[in-house]
Structure 1
Amino acid sequence: MIPKYAPREIESKWQARWQADHLYEVDESSDRPKWYALTMFPYTSGDLHIGHWYAMAPSDV
């Protein structure tokens, strides 16, 4: 792990990789069915806890 986060050194590397991999491109003409995944609505009535990570991290990945 790097001792200090240096965004100018790191971000450009990963942005170039994502662009080369076409990671954020969407094929609007695809014949595949479109879908939307909603795991839960955000509620602001409580403090964050480890359960939020368990519930949200897998769907984000």
Structure 2
Amino acid sequence: MDSCSRNHDRDGNPYQAILSYSTANDIDLVVMRTHGRTGIPRDLLGSVTENVIRTSALPVLSVREAK
């Protein structure tokens, strides 16, 4: 199994860069870490992982950050 972790695109929306990269590189599964924020902090900061999960045609596995 191959994996890839890169800073692909620092301009624009991070979730769009992740989706574009995964489509362009024939990725089968997107795995992302989540901080597990809820409520107001998540709403104010947004969530790249949540946006990828909601908009990706690919399967997305979110892994909660260890405490």
Q: TM-score range by the shorter chain?
A: under 0.3
**Structure showing greater Rg:** 1
Higher RCO structure, 1 or 2 (CA under 8 Å, sep 6+) = 2
| TM-score, normalisation: structure 1 | 0.25
| TM-score, normalisation: structure 2 | 0.23
